[in-house]
A and B are shown apart, each in its own frame.
Chain A
Amino acid sequence: MTATLTAERRSLLTHHPIGASTGYMYAIRGDWRALIAEAIELSPFAAELSVLSESEMEGLACFLADRPALPFRYLSIHGPSKGRTMSEPYLVEALIELAPHAESVVMHPDTMSDPEQYRRLGHKLVIENMDAGKLDGCTVEQLRTWFADVPLAGFCFDIAHAWSIDPSMDLARELLDEFGSRLRHVHVSSLSGDLHHVPLTEEHEELFMPLLERCLDVPWILEAPPRSPQTSA
């Protein structure tokens, strides 16, 4: 059967499930109803609710406490990586309160210090690999230490972060070789010169696709809006 059928070239938006991170929706930040509505525009199947700043956590907790009817089959919550004032035990306690609403809680390892606190999140904790501007969570060795300390944690593969450290994509391959068994979802975007997430370029889509094809079973979360037709021309 299979020999008679022609293989198609995969493109980013044909993947299922794909989802939006609310982190790129700057104009409506804090308005969770509007953020959810915009995420659903991209996909009602997966999304990431991003509280990049600690000050946003209370708003999300209040929003989720009302048990809004959300359509997503996969929902992650991105924990804060900026504006941190809470002590780690309080922060983790707040994340534990949010965790039942989501499949996973994503954290940046360079913002974590006491693994014992985070172990309380169990399988819900997902650790993301970091970009070239960070001091921890970037390399296989650094992440191996983290996963040894929080053994139940999953892996969020940020492909652009890996590219920022090694544009040959060897690091990205090594990360998948080493931590692929823990993979829960993928962050997809390109990066600006100052390492901010920007829409995936055509060039990066081509470069990243062989690695993304190793991640066909997990959600791909866009950390920047999809490329507009004008920019892809």
Chain B
Amino acid sequence: MKSRPLEQLAEACGREFKNLAKARQETEKKVEQRRTRIDKLNRCEDTSVVLMGSWGRSEVTSGSDDDYMILVNGAWRPEHEIDPSIDDVAQLLNQKPGREGAFGEIAFSDYLEKRIGLQEDDNNNLTRRMLLLLESRPILGDENHRVAQEKILDCYLRDARKPNSPPRLLLNDVVRYWRTICVDFAGKQRKRRGEGWGIRNAKLRTSRKLLFASGLLPILECPSDSHEGMRSFLLDRLRMPSTDRLARSFLDAGVPDVGGRTLGAYDEFIGRLDEASFRAALESVPREDGDRSDEFLEARRLGRAIQSGLLGLLFETDLLRSLVREFAIF
């Protein structure tokens, strides 16, 4: 059987990613558990239950939340006409979803695909659309999820017909999403008076940054000589966990050593995050104590290694340097 890109990278750089491998196994096991539970619920034909975040990245650790949304593949309709309901799903999943409202809600694919840009494309809509593309995992209604993903991608690619140019609308929205996360980090700091600063900062430096890069890279790398080629390339990449997408990019750019150090640092972070005491320390450290927290300093060290690796890939390799200069800034 053909190995996955992360395994190929491990072989090429001569190091193992034990924590990521363990997290992948854990994800599969827990997805199956949740599938079994949720399969008993009534379901409308056009509805999916989708897990996001670490589930979509295949990086579930002991402290992962059940970030989920109910995806309706179509237009808005009243909540009481939708099965399963939010309450039904919430009772079967372990944790409460995040506070800002992107999760634990119903998302209508018509909104996600037709409201790209302008006022109606609010923070939640953008977040749901991006997470559906970049890190989502269905546990009920897989076919609906697949169709919704394809419809969203097709909306982005509809006008992407300029030769030798990546799909600009998708590129701009992925960059917009990353910058939105960064700005929202500051916004949450003010709103919550610093609560949860350490863990959010650590994730911004690691998981969120890697997720952004794993969306950006396939867009820059995709073939632009045929619409169908671009579409199938992007679908293929977007269906991989983000660490596979990144591993593929490091391998294709011919820099497995750099990829090994980058994903090695992330592997270390995932391993530490699986330790309850490490996670708890990050969750409680306030900004003013960051420089005195061993756990935060560790996360920052690993985050810097990840950033150096990504910058090396994007700006120091022949294949990508010119593409980044040509398309990624303006």
Binding site for B on A (CB under 8 A): 1-2, 4-5, 7-8, 10, 15-16, 103, 123, 176-177, 180-181, 183, 213-218
Asked whether, in the complex, the Cβ of B318 is within 8 Å of the Cβ of A176, the reply is: no
- B313 to chain A: which residues have CB within 8 Å? 216-217
A176 touches B316 (CB 8 A): no
A8 to B323 alpha-carbon distance, docked (Å): 13
Q: How many residues of B contact A (CB 8 A)?
A: 34
Known contacts being A7-B319, A123-B301, is A214 close to B255, with CB within 8 Å?
yes
* B221 adjacent to A2 (CB under 8 Å): yes
Whether A5 contacts B323 by the Cβ 8 Å rule is yes
Residue of B nearest to A5 (CB): B322
Q: Shortest distance in angstroms between A53's beta carbon and chain B's nearest beta carbon?
A: 29
B166 touches A (CB below 8 Å): yes
Pick the most buried of A2, A181, A213, A217: most chain B CB atoms within 10 A of its CB.
A217
Chain A binder among B32-40, B120-128, B257-265: B257-265
Task: With CB as the reference atom, state the residue of chain B lying closest to A177.
Answer: B14
**A180 to B255 Cα, complex, angstroms:** 12
**17 extra A-B contacts, CB within 8 A, seeds A2-B319, A10-B318, A218-B312:** A1-B220, A1-B222, A1-B224, A7-B318, A7-B319, A177-B14, A180-B14, A180-B257, A180-B261, A181-B15, A183-B261, A214-B255, A216-B258, A216-B312, A217-B308, A218-B261, A218-B308
* Chain A residues in 8 Å Cβ range of B298: 123
Tell me whether B198 is interfacial, beta carbon within 8 Å.
no
Q: Which chain A residues lie closer than 8 Å to B262 at the CB level? A: 217
Q: Report yes or no: B315 in contact with A16, Cβ–Cβ below 8 A.
A: yes
Whether B13 contacts A181 by the Cβ 8 Å rule is: yes
Scoring A1, A7, A8, A216 by chain B CB atoms within 10 A of each residue's CB, the highest score goes to A1
| Interface status of B226 (Cβ within 8 A of chain A) | no
Residues of A within 8 A of B15 (CB): 181
How distant is B245 from chain A, measured CB to nearest CB, in Å?
16
The 3 A-B pairs of least Cβ separation, nearest first, read: A217-B312, A7-B318, A216-B316
Q: Which of B257, B301, B321 contacts A215 (CB 8 A)?
A: B257
List B residues 245-268 near A (Cβ within 8 Å).
255, 257-258, 260-262, 264
- A-facing mask of B289-320, CB < 8 A → 1, else 0? 00000000010010010001101110111111
Cα-based distance from A177 to B320 in the complex (angstroms): 24
The smallest C-beta distance from B121 to any residue of chain A, in angstroms, reads 27
Q: Which of B255, B261, B316, B323 contacts A181 (CB 8 A)?
A: B261
Cα separation A17 to B36 with both chains bound (whole Å): 51
Residue on B nearest A4 in the bound complex, by CB:
B164
Task: Determine whether the beta carbon of B318 is less than 8 Å from that of A216.
Answer: no
CB neighbours of B255 from chain A (8 A): 213-214, 216
Question: Which chain B residue shows the least CB distance to A73?
Answer: B304
Can you report 10 A-B residue pairs in the complex whose CB atoms are below 8 A from each other?
A1-B166, A1-B222, A5-B323, A8-B318, A15-B316, A123-B298, A123-B301, A181-B261, A217-B261, A218-B312
Chain B residue nearest in CB terms to A184: B305
Q: How far is the CB of A176 from chain B (nearest CB, A)?
A: 7
- Other-chain residue from A4, A5, A217 in contact with B316 (beta carbon distance below 8 A): A217
Which residue in B164, B316, B323 is a CB contact (below 8 Å) of A16? Answer: B316
Given the complex, which residues of A lie within 8 Å of B221, measured CB to CB?
1-2
List chain B residues, Cβ under 8 A from A181: 13-15, 260-261, 264
Residues of chain A within 8 A of B166, CB atoms compared? 1
Question: B228 CB to closest chain A CB, in angstroms?
Answer: 15
B223 contacts the other chain (CB 8 A): yes
A152 CB to closest chain B CB, in angstroms?
Answer: 11
A8, A123, A181: most-surrounded residue (chain B CB, <10 A): A181
